[in-house]
Amino acid sequence: MPSSLHVIGHQQPDTDTICSALAYARLKQAQGVDATPARAGEVNPETQFVLDRWDTESPSLLDDAAGEQLILVDHNEYSQAVSGAHDATIVEVVDHHRIGDIETSDPIYFRNEPVGSTATILTQLYEEANKTIDAQTAGLLLSGLLSDTVVLRSPTTTDQDRSIADHLADIAGVDIEKYGKELLQQKSKIGEKSPRE
Amino acid sequence: MPSSLHVIGHQQPDTDTICSALAYARLKQAQGVDATPARAGEVNPETQFVLDRWDTESPSLLDDAAGEQLILVDHNEYSQAVSGAHDATIVEVVDHHRIGDIETSDPIYFRNEPVGSTATILTQLYEEANKTIDAQTAGLLLSGLLSDTVVLRSPTTTDQDRSIADHLADIAGVDIEKYGKELLQQKSKIGEKSPRE
Ligand SMILES: [Mn+2]
Ligand SMILES: [Mn+2]
Ligand SMILES: [Mn+2]
Ligand SMILES: [Mn+2]
């Protein structure tokens, strides 16, 4: 089987990881690159709420990345990556964390910025590529941004996050505080599941 | 002595490394950040020609980076970095090579692109920051770009390099082929020095 190009976030995916995989795969497709969104684990309740709210299918589970081509979003260390990542080819990284242990043999696009979410950076990448963000994609990106920054209240929140959140909320047609509140209610449900479930 | 912020390229500096350190330090200064250009070794004859041609002083030599803050340009591995880099704080990276072994404890700006020169990326950073590139800085950036791409003839040359070279040549007021020829003549002098010199 020939290798495919997957856009994938970290294990134990959060909303920023899933929404970034979806949004970046869409940007790649808009640029004529055959990339599919993937996930490295189960979708949590907050993220499921977001997917339902924006009428979007979950990325499919990639359980072994060996031999595949990967665009990593929202992480840049092997310990957090999908299983098999060591035997995959990392072709791009977009993230907002400390610089980890990814090394490559060829030059690749690696974009890490000290901002509140990967979604923030992806919004800029859409702009730099002159590609329109539709309402659905804006809703997903906004969800990743608001989830990671606790509705712009976390100490990691930058001015860039704030102005990009405004822009995304405009396109998505939601009110940041109102939608953020709904999201936080879902967040509080994470961990509520009993071990039996 | 409090630590200072240095913009610095690799050991055995080439024209892209020196010109990128100069141009990025200028951008940082234009953004109100107190950054100074530095070098990790002797300036080669090609680069000296470029500095003379664009009436620019060489960055000063940093012989021990321990305890300092570093913005790395044109490299992203410790083996190529200024001595003491392991005991410095890496606060940013802008490069066009394979991803190396730099790890950080905090999120930083890390921008690597598979293009012909670091100067190509820096030209984009000026544009993204909405800062004007003056003729002198354009001349330096063009020199880094043309040196690394062997006047746009190396297999690493991308369409982006070509269009950015045109843009820089316009600002600098030079003809790419004519200036490139002068530069290549200097390049051929590298290694001509006898060991006695
Ligand atoms: Mn995450
Ligand atoms: Mn994140
Ligand atoms: Mn170099
Ligand atoms: Mn270079």
Interface of A with B in 90-129 (CB under 8 A): 90, 93, 96-114, 128
Instruction: Tell me the chain B residues in contact with residue A109 when contact means C-beta distances shorter than 8 Å.
Output: 112-114
| For residues B102-108, average pLDDT | 97
pLDDT in tens, B20-48: 999 999 999 999 999 999 999 999 999 99
Within 8 A by CB and 6+ apart from B177, the residues are B151
Are A97 and B108 an interchain contact pair (Cβ–Cβ within 8 Å)?
no
pLDDT score at B3: 79
Task: Report if pTM > 0.80.
Answer: yes
Are B96 and A107 an interchain contact pair (Cβ–Cβ within 8 Å)?
yes
| For residues B50-73, average pLDDT | 98
pLDDT score at B196: 42
pLDDT in tens, B134-149: 999 999 999 999 999 9
The continuous run of DSSP H or E covering B142 comes out as: helix B135-148
Compare CB distances from B99 to A96, A102, A128 and report the shortest one's residue. A102
| For residues B167-183, average pLDDT | 97
Q: Which residue in chain B has the smallest CA separation from A127?
A: B128
Give yes or no for residue B195 having a pLDDT over 70. no
B63: left (phi over 0), alpha (psi -120 to 50) or beta: alpha
- Quote the ligand 2 centre to A40 CA distance (angstroms): 15
CB atoms within 10 A of CB A190: 13
Give yes or no for residue B77 having a pLDDT over 80. yes
Compare CB distances from A96 to B93, B101, B107 and report the shortest one's residue. B107
Instruction: Tell me the chain A residues in contact with residue B110 when contact means C-beta distances shorter than 8 Å.
Output: 99, 110-112
Compare CB distances from B103 to A90, A99, A109 and report the shortest one's residue. A99
The answer to whether A18 and A43 are in contact (CB under 8 A) is: yes
B21: left (phi over 0), alpha (psi -120 to 50) or beta: alpha
Q: What percent of chain B has pLDDT over 90?
A: 92
pLDDT in tens, A44-78: 999 999 999 999 999 999 999 999 999 999 999 99
Give yes or no for residue B55 having a pLDDT over 80. yes
What is this model's ipTM?
0.94
For chain A, which residues score pLDDT lower than 50? 194-197
Confidence of residue B188 (pLDDT cuts 50, 70, 90): confident
- Quote the ligand 4 centre to A10 CA distance (angstroms): 31
